Amino acid sequence: MRFRDKIAFVTGGGSGIGRAISHRLASEGAKVAVTDIILDAAKSTVTTVEQAGGSATAFRLDVRNAQEVAEVIDKTWQTLGRIDLLINNAGVSTMNRLVDLTEDDWDLNMDVNAKGVFLVSRAVIRKMLETDYGTERPKIVNIASMAGKLPGVFLAHYTASKFAVIGLTKATAMELAPYKINVNCVCPGFVTTSMQEREIRWEAKLSGTTPEKVREGYLRQVPLGRLAKPEDVATIVAFLCSHDADYMTGQAINVTGGQMTF
């Protein structure tokens, strides 16, 4: 039980990768604050975590709202005592040609994917720096994307937001290293989630092909021959949250089935 007595805070925990991360950390002993902009989704994750024998609490959280972020972080500290593990997972995507992108498309992706990581990290770090963790090392893990290293077609705005997450991760890691707080990020490739299913439909429409052809194209790009499951990402997040990763900080770890090697 690597995370016994640890408190984990997961954004976007109501579905997909966030739900898998919440389950993985809880299965190894963590008490998980599951947050999501859709409270019922967060509650659903809590229910499944508890059914599996874990411990979790649900909070509604819009990571774009600085006041709400501060309030939820305060409430978590009051009810659970502290936060040991922060996983910035909340993310969105839309898809279009650059010339057809709207400011709303740009703002949504940047506000959730990049600004949200900043706002939540800032609020949690302020608390972490006031907390005595003894010999323990708090961990922050941000969920970036393969698109943060390799630009995606029809994803200029999403790509920009994920490049920002990687840059923010590296800068934060350097700043927090003297305080023994590790900061890393994970760069998933093609992951079978509801968000990816939407992207497949969008890409098919924009490319004038079918969702089946798009999915086949994804598979051809992955040397290991399959798309990732959310649990594949959760496994690496758990590693980065553990003592096994105490000497790692400022890293952007690929989880792409071999598609990305740098």
- Choose the catalytic residue: 133, 158, 218, 247: 158
The pLDDT of residue 152 is above 90: no
Tokens matching residue 230? 């959310």
Give 75-92 pLDDT, tens digit per residue: 999 999 999 999 999 999
Where along the chain do its domains lie? 7-191+229-255
Kindly state the average pLDDT of the residues 175-192. 98
The pLDDT of residue 254 is above 90: yes
Q: What is the distance between the alpha carbons of residues 142 and 88, in angstroms, rounded to a whole number?
A: 5
CATH 3.20.20.70, applies to 7-191+229-255: no
- How does residue 149 score in pLDDT terms, banded at 50, 70 and 90? very high
The pLDDT of residue 105 is above 90: yes
Q: Are 184 and 249 in contact (CB under 8 A)?
A: yes
Q: Tell me whether residue 158 is one of the annotated catalytic residues.
A: yes
Structure letter (DSSP) for residue 186 = E
Tokens matching residue 200? 């497949």
The pLDDT of residue 172 is above 90: yes
Which residues, at least 6 apart from 37, have a Cβ–Cβ distance to it below 8 Å? 12, 14, 60, 61, 62, 63, 90
Give 226-249 pLDDT, tens digit per residue: 999 999 999 999 999 999 999 999
Q: What is the distance between the alpha carbons of residues 194 and 20, in angstroms, rounded to a whole number?
A: 13
Residue 79 CB coordination number (10 Å)? 12
Tokens matching residue 225? 């021959």
Give 30-72 pLDDT, tens digit per residue: 999 999 999 999 999 999 999 999 999 999 999 999 999 999 9
- How does residue 200 score in pLDDT terms, banded at 50, 70 and 90? very high
